[in-house]
Amino acid sequence: MNSSSRLRITEIFHSLQGESNTVGVPTVFIRLTGCPLRCGYCDTSYAFKGGEWMSLQQINTTVDGFKARYVTVTGGEPLAQQACPELLTLLCDGGYRVSLETSGALDISGVDSRVVRVMDIKTPASGEVEKNLYQNIEQLNPHDQVKFVICNEADYQWSRQLLRDLDLESRCEILFSPVNGTQDPTQLAEWILRDHLNVRFQIQLHKYLWGDVGGR
Protein backbone atom coordinates (compact mmCIF):
# COMPACT_ATOMS: atom_id res chain seq x y z
CA MET A 1 0.00 0.00 0.00
CA ASN A 2 1.27 3.46 -0.92
CA SER A 3 1.50 5.28 2.40
CA SER A 4 0.80 8.63 0.71
CA SER A 5 -2.37 7.52 -1.06
CA ARG A 6 -5.55 9.16 0.09
CA LEU A 7 -9.12 9.73 -1.01
CA ARG A 8 -11.73 12.39 -0.43
CA ILE A 9 -14.56 10.73 1.47
CA THR A 10 -18.12 12.02 1.89
CA GLU A 11 -19.19 9.34 4.37
CA ILE A 12 -18.55 5.80 5.61
CA PHE A 13 -21.56 4.07 7.11
CA HIS A 14 -23.04 0.67 7.95
CA SER A 15 -26.41 -0.22 6.45
CA LEU A 16 -28.28 -2.88 4.51
CA GLN A 17 -27.43 -3.19 0.84
CA GLY A 18 -30.33 -1.54 -0.97
CA GLU A 19 -29.61 -2.74 -4.50
CA SER A 20 -27.75 -5.36 -6.58
CA ASN A 21 -27.87 -9.12 -6.00
CA THR A 22 -26.80 -8.78 -2.35
CA VAL A 23 -29.81 -6.63 -1.44
CA GLY A 24 -30.59 -6.82 2.27
CA VAL A 25 -27.08 -7.87 3.30
CA PRO A 26 -25.36 -5.79 6.04
CA THR A 27 -22.71 -3.77 4.22
CA VAL A 28 -20.22 -0.99 4.91
CA PHE A 29 -20.55 1.80 2.35
CA ILE A 30 -17.61 4.05 1.47
CA ARG A 31 -18.95 7.06 -0.42
CA LEU A 32 -16.26 8.93 -2.33
CA THR A 33 -16.66 12.61 -3.15
CA GLY A 34 -16.99 14.01 -6.68
CA CYS A 35 -18.61 12.99 -9.95
CA PRO A 36 -18.13 14.18 -13.55
CA LEU A 37 -21.74 13.33 -14.46
CA ARG A 38 -24.98 15.11 -13.64
CA CYS A 39 -27.76 12.56 -14.11
CA GLY A 40 -31.22 14.05 -13.83
CA TYR A 41 -32.34 11.51 -11.21
CA CYS A 42 -29.21 11.62 -9.04
CA ASP A 43 -30.02 11.14 -5.34
CA THR A 44 -26.50 11.71 -4.00
CA SER A 45 -25.73 15.21 -5.24
CA TYR A 46 -24.52 16.02 -1.73
CA ALA A 47 -21.45 13.96 -2.60
CA PHE A 48 -20.42 16.18 -5.52
CA LYS A 49 -18.37 18.48 -3.29
CA GLY A 50 -16.85 18.67 0.16
CA GLY A 51 -15.82 15.52 1.95
CA GLU A 52 -12.76 14.78 4.06
CA TRP A 53 -9.35 13.57 2.94
CA MET A 54 -8.52 10.19 4.48
CA SER A 55 -5.55 7.89 4.01
CA LEU A 56 -6.22 4.37 2.81
CA GLN A 57 -5.20 3.08 6.24
CA GLN A 58 -7.66 5.42 7.96
CA ILE A 59 -10.42 4.20 5.66
CA ASN A 60 -9.50 0.58 6.25
CA THR A 61 -9.45 1.05 10.04
CA THR A 62 -12.88 2.70 9.94
CA VAL A 63 -14.30 -0.14 7.86
CA ASP A 64 -12.83 -2.76 10.19
CA GLY A 65 -14.66 -1.17 13.10
CA PHE A 66 -18.07 -2.11 11.68
CA LYS A 67 -17.33 -5.88 11.77
CA ALA A 68 -19.04 -6.53 8.42
CA ARG A 69 -18.06 -8.91 5.62
CA TYR A 70 -19.34 -6.84 2.68
CA VAL A 71 -18.05 -3.47 1.53
CA THR A 72 -19.41 -1.26 -1.26
CA VAL A 73 -17.38 1.61 -2.67
CA THR A 74 -19.72 4.17 -4.19
CA GLY A 75 -20.08 7.88 -4.90
CA GLY A 76 -20.37 10.18 -6.65
CA GLU A 77 -18.17 8.38 -9.12
CA PRO A 78 -15.46 6.48 -7.23
CA LEU A 79 -13.17 5.98 -10.22
CA ALA A 80 -12.84 9.74 -10.64
CA GLN A 81 -10.28 9.55 -7.80
CA GLN A 82 -6.94 8.05 -8.76
CA ALA A 83 -6.42 5.98 -5.60
CA CYS A 84 -9.77 4.19 -5.79
CA PRO A 85 -8.42 0.98 -7.42
CA GLU A 86 -5.74 0.81 -4.72
CA LEU A 87 -8.41 1.00 -2.01
CA LEU A 88 -10.43 -1.74 -3.70
CA THR A 89 -7.42 -4.07 -3.78
CA LEU A 90 -6.62 -3.29 -0.13
CA LEU A 91 -10.15 -4.24 0.89
CA CYS A 92 -10.04 -7.47 -1.12
CA ASP A 93 -6.69 -8.38 0.45
CA GLY A 94 -8.34 -7.84 3.84
CA GLY A 95 -10.85 -10.60 3.14
CA TYR A 96 -13.86 -8.43 2.41
CA ARG A 97 -16.35 -9.13 -0.33
CA VAL A 98 -16.12 -5.90 -2.26
CA SER A 99 -18.36 -4.24 -4.83
CA LEU A 100 -17.90 -1.03 -6.78
CA GLU A 101 -20.79 1.15 -7.94
CA THR A 102 -19.68 3.04 -11.06
CA SER A 103 -21.39 5.15 -13.68
CA GLY A 104 -19.88 3.30 -16.63
CA ALA A 105 -18.40 6.55 -17.95
CA LEU A 106 -14.83 5.80 -16.80
CA ASP A 107 -12.48 2.92 -17.63
CA ILE A 108 -13.00 -0.09 -15.33
CA SER A 109 -10.08 -2.16 -16.65
CA GLY A 110 -7.80 -1.21 -13.74
CA VAL A 111 -10.18 -2.53 -11.09
CA ASP A 112 -9.11 -5.68 -9.21
CA SER A 113 -10.80 -8.71 -10.78
CA ARG A 114 -12.02 -9.84 -7.34
CA VAL A 115 -14.28 -6.79 -7.11
CA VAL A 116 -17.91 -7.06 -8.22
CA ARG A 117 -18.36 -4.12 -10.56
CA VAL A 118 -21.94 -2.83 -10.58
CA MET A 119 -21.82 -0.66 -13.69
CA ASP A 120 -24.54 1.67 -14.92
CA ILE A 121 -25.41 2.06 -18.55
CA LYS A 122 -26.97 5.51 -18.70
CA THR A 123 -30.39 5.65 -20.35
CA PRO A 124 -31.54 8.56 -22.56
CA ALA A 125 -33.70 10.18 -19.86
CA SER A 126 -30.72 10.33 -17.49
CA GLY A 127 -29.37 13.19 -19.59
CA GLU A 128 -25.94 11.51 -19.72
CA VAL A 129 -26.38 8.74 -22.30
CA GLU A 130 -23.51 10.19 -24.36
CA LYS A 131 -21.11 9.46 -21.50
CA ASN A 132 -21.47 5.66 -21.73
CA LEU A 133 -18.06 4.08 -22.30
CA TYR A 134 -19.12 0.97 -24.18
CA GLN A 135 -15.56 -0.40 -24.26
CA ASN A 136 -16.13 -1.29 -20.61
CA ILE A 137 -18.48 -4.09 -21.65
CA GLU A 138 -15.51 -6.10 -22.92
CA GLN A 139 -14.02 -5.94 -19.41
CA LEU A 140 -17.02 -7.42 -17.60
CA ASN A 141 -16.74 -10.73 -15.74
CA PRO A 142 -19.65 -13.12 -15.06
CA HIS A 143 -19.82 -11.95 -11.41
CA ASP A 144 -20.22 -8.30 -12.45
CA GLN A 145 -23.57 -6.56 -12.86
CA VAL A 146 -24.89 -3.99 -15.33
CA LYS A 147 -27.61 -1.64 -14.11
CA PHE A 148 -30.19 0.28 -16.13
CA VAL A 149 -32.01 3.01 -14.22
CA ILE A 150 -35.37 3.38 -15.96
CA CYS A 151 -37.16 6.75 -16.03
CA ASN A 152 -40.00 5.95 -18.45
CA GLU A 153 -41.19 3.53 -21.15
CA ALA A 154 -38.82 5.01 -23.75
CA ASP A 155 -35.91 4.24 -21.42
CA TYR A 156 -37.22 0.71 -20.99
CA GLN A 157 -37.50 0.09 -24.72
CA TRP A 158 -34.03 1.56 -25.32
CA SER A 159 -32.54 -0.68 -22.62
CA ARG A 160 -34.37 -3.74 -23.90
CA GLN A 161 -32.94 -3.19 -27.38
CA LEU A 162 -29.42 -2.60 -26.07
CA LEU A 163 -29.57 -5.90 -24.17
CA ARG A 164 -30.05 -7.65 -27.48
CA ASP A 165 -27.67 -5.57 -29.56
CA LEU A 166 -24.76 -6.06 -27.12
CA ASP A 167 -25.72 -9.58 -25.97
CA LEU A 168 -25.35 -8.38 -22.39
CA GLU A 169 -27.14 -11.34 -20.83
CA SER A 170 -24.28 -13.62 -21.89
CA ARG A 171 -21.73 -11.48 -20.04
CA CYS A 172 -23.11 -10.84 -16.56
CA GLU A 173 -26.23 -10.22 -14.50
CA ILE A 174 -28.52 -7.38 -15.62
CA LEU A 175 -30.39 -5.11 -13.20
CA PHE A 176 -33.43 -2.97 -14.10
CA SER A 177 -34.31 -0.32 -11.53
CA PRO A 178 -37.17 2.23 -11.65
CA VAL A 179 -36.39 5.83 -10.74
CA ASN A 180 -37.95 6.35 -7.34
CA GLY A 181 -41.01 8.57 -7.62
CA THR A 182 -40.85 8.78 -11.43
CA GLN A 183 -41.27 5.32 -12.98
CA ASP A 184 -43.99 3.16 -11.44
CA PRO A 185 -42.24 -0.01 -10.22
CA THR A 186 -45.23 -2.29 -10.80
CA GLN A 187 -45.45 -1.13 -14.40
CA LEU A 188 -41.75 -1.83 -14.96
CA ALA A 189 -42.16 -5.29 -13.43
CA GLU A 190 -45.06 -6.00 -15.79
CA TRP A 191 -43.05 -4.91 -18.84
CA ILE A 192 -40.22 -7.24 -17.84
CA LEU A 193 -42.61 -10.17 -17.42
CA ARG A 194 -44.45 -9.38 -20.66
CA ASP A 195 -41.24 -9.31 -22.68
CA HIS A 196 -39.66 -12.33 -20.94
CA LEU A 197 -36.48 -10.45 -20.12
CA ASN A 198 -33.76 -12.32 -18.27
CA VAL A 199 -33.04 -9.45 -15.87
CA ARG A 200 -33.26 -8.82 -12.14
CA PHE A 201 -35.90 -6.26 -11.19
CA GLN A 202 -34.87 -4.20 -8.19
CA ILE A 203 -36.14 -1.36 -6.08
CA GLN A 204 -34.06 0.71 -3.65
CA LEU A 205 -34.71 -1.11 -0.37
CA HIS A 206 -33.06 1.56 1.75
CA LYS A 207 -35.56 4.19 0.60
CA TYR A 208 -38.46 2.03 1.74
CA LEU A 209 -36.82 1.55 5.12
CA TRP A 210 -35.34 4.97 5.85
CA GLY A 211 -36.47 7.35 3.12
CA ASP A 212 -34.16 9.50 1.05
CA VAL A 213 -31.62 10.27 3.78
CA GLY A 214 -27.97 9.71 2.92
CA GLY A 215 -28.66 6.28 1.38
CA ARG A 216 -29.57 4.83 4.80
Does 186 map to a domain? Answer: yes
Q: Is the peptide bond before 18 cis (omega within 30 degrees of 0)?
A: no
Containing structural domain, residue 120: 6-208
Burial class (CB in 10 A: 0-12, 13-18, 19+), 100: buried
Does 88 map to a domain? Answer: yes
CATH of the domain at 135: 3.20.20.70
| Number of domains observed in the structure of the chain | 1
What is the pTM (predicted TM-score) of this model? 0.93
What sign results for the dihedral spanned by CA atoms 182, 187, 189, 195? negative
Does 142 map to a domain? Answer: yes
Sequence-ordered list of residues with C-beta below 8 angstroms from that of 60, at least 6 positions apart, any chain: 90, 91, 94
Q: How confident is the prediction along the chain (216 residues), in pLDDT tens digits per residue?
A: 565 699 999 999 999 999 998 999 999 999 999 999 999 999 899 999 999 999 999 999 999 999 999 999 999 999 999 999 999 999 999 999 999 999 999 999 999 999 999 999 999 999 999 999 999 999 999 999 999 999 999 999 999 999 999 999 999 999 999 998 899 999 999 999 999 999 999 998 888 888 765 444
Does 216 map to a domain? Answer: no
